[in-house]
């Protein structure tokens, strides 16, 4: 597996790979877990060369403290990617990634300020900008993102559509722990009691799905989920929303199109999200 630290090294290595097949990109911020490896494995199943990036992107963090505390496990991450058959990993530092006078930002105007965007102002602008830079640097045929960060996925799909970026965005279903908690780098920061309590997020989503199948409105489902999670004294519910899966817009009345449940809940200081796509009712 080739490791590139500079944009020039990356360009040369990619030109070489491109001669013998297509390129699938898995962008990451490191601290890899089974959720990231599901992206790699999907990429391996439909692309000749799987390439990855590890970059803790400063412009998508709200506070300096979160950025500094973000777990960095580079050697372990590289071992995992190597074992999974990744051909190349780009590991730039901040000076390599950003021009010192950088002033260009990408913003999906409506999507980046709603839902998680209102809890984390500026976050999705930071994500869209770095992902666009990675697309320009790698020029991949496909890029892989998890459904767990559903709003991020919607932002990236919208950016690609609006700016005619020539890349296919492939989404991969959320990987969950045996008790249903969505895999996330943040889970390792939970205390033992909070980690046990956090399984409620998935169970509340499943309950919401059942309610949707039984004809409940988006409002009724959100309220019920809020109540069920709030019964746990360790959980501080920040937001519960049931939205159109395609546009993330609100429902008026009954749920009529594919829907997604979006939760943001704090356990101790750790903000967990779960974004669960409601499956069609099986008759
Ligand atoms: O999902 C992530 O890990 C990050 O938001 C991404 C897409 C790598 C951009 O920094």
Q: Which atom of ligand 1 is nearest to the CA of 56?
A: 10
pLDDT of res. 252: 82
Same-domain check for residues 118 and 202: no
Phi, psi of 105 (to 5 degrees): -130, 145
Distance from Cα 228 to the centre of ligand 1, integer Å: 30
If you write DSSP's letter for every residue of 26-80 in order, what string do you get? EEE-S---HHHHHHHHHHHHH-SEEEEEE---GGG-SSHHHHHHS---HHHHHHH
Let me know if residue 282 belongs to a domain.
no
Instruction: Let me know if residue 178 belongs to a domain.
Output: no
Residue bearing the CA closest to ligand 1, atom 5: 127
Give the pLDDT of residue 279: 84
Residue 125 within any structural domain of the chain:
yes
Q: Are residues 76 and 161 in the same domain?
A: yes
* pLDDT value, residue 161: 98
- pLDDT tens readout for residues 32-58: 999 999 999 999 999 999 999 999 999
Report pLDDT for 266: 97
State the Cα–Cα distance between residues 229 and 62, nearest whole angstrom. 26
Cβ of 29 closer than 6 Å to ligand 1, yes or no, is yes
Which residue's CA is the nearest one to ligand 1's atom 6?
28
Q: Is residue 123 among the annotated active site residues?
A: no
Task: Using CB atoms within 10 Å of the CB of residue 96, give its burial: 0 to 12 exposed, 13 to 18 middle, 19+ buried.
Answer: middle
Task: Tell me, yes or no, whether 30 lies in a domain.
Answer: yes
One domain, residues 165 and 189: no
CB-based contact 138:12 (threshold 8 Å): no
Domain of residue 122, residue span: 2-172
Among 116, 141, 172, identify where a domain stops. Answer: 172
Distances (CA, A) of 236 to 141, 166, 280: 41, 41, 30
What does the pLDDT read at residue 195? 97
pTM (2 d.p.): 0.95
What's the first-to-final CA gap in the chain, in angstroms?
Answer: 48
CATH number for 149: 3.40.50.620
Kindly state whether residues 29 and 118 are assigned to the same domain: yes
Segments of the chain scoring below 70 in pLDDT: 283
Cβ of 263 less than 6 Å from ligand 1: no
């Amino acid at each position: 597996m080739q490791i590139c630290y500079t944009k020039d090294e990356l360009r040369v290595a990619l030109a070489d790979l491109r001669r013998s097949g297509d390129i699938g990109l898995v962008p990451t911020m490191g601290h890899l877990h089974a959720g990231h490896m599901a992206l790699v494995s999907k990429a391996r199943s439909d692309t000749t060369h799987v390439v990855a990036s590890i970059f803790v992107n400063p412009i998508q963090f709200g506070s300096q403290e979160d950025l500094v505390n973000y777990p960095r496990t580079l050697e372990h991450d590289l071992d995992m990617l190597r074992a999974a058959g990744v051909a190349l990993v780009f590991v730039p530092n901040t000076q390599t990634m950003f021009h010192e006078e950088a002033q260009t930002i990408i913003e999906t105007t409506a999507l980046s300020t709603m839902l998680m965007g209102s809890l984390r102002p500026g976050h999705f602008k930071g994500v869209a900008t770095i992902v666009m830079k990675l697309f320009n640097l790698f020029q991949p045929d496909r890029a892989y993102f998890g459904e767990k960060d559903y709003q991020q996925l919607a932002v990236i799909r919208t950016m690609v559509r609006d700016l005619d970026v020539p890349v296919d965005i492939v989404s991969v279903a959320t990987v969950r722990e045996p008790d249903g908690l969505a895999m996330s780098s943040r889970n390792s920061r939970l205390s033992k009691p909070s980690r046990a309590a956090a399984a409620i997020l998935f169970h509340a989503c499943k309950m919401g799905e059942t309610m949707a199948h039984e004809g409940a409105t988006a409002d009724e489902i959100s309220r019920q989920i809020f109540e069920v999670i709030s019964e746990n004294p360790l959980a501080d519910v920040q937001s519960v929303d049931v939205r159109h899966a395609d546009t993330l817009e609100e429902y008026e009345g009954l749920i009529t199109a594919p829907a997604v449940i979006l939760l943001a809940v704090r356990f101790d200081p750790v903000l967990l999200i779960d974004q669960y796509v409601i499956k069609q009712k099986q008759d």
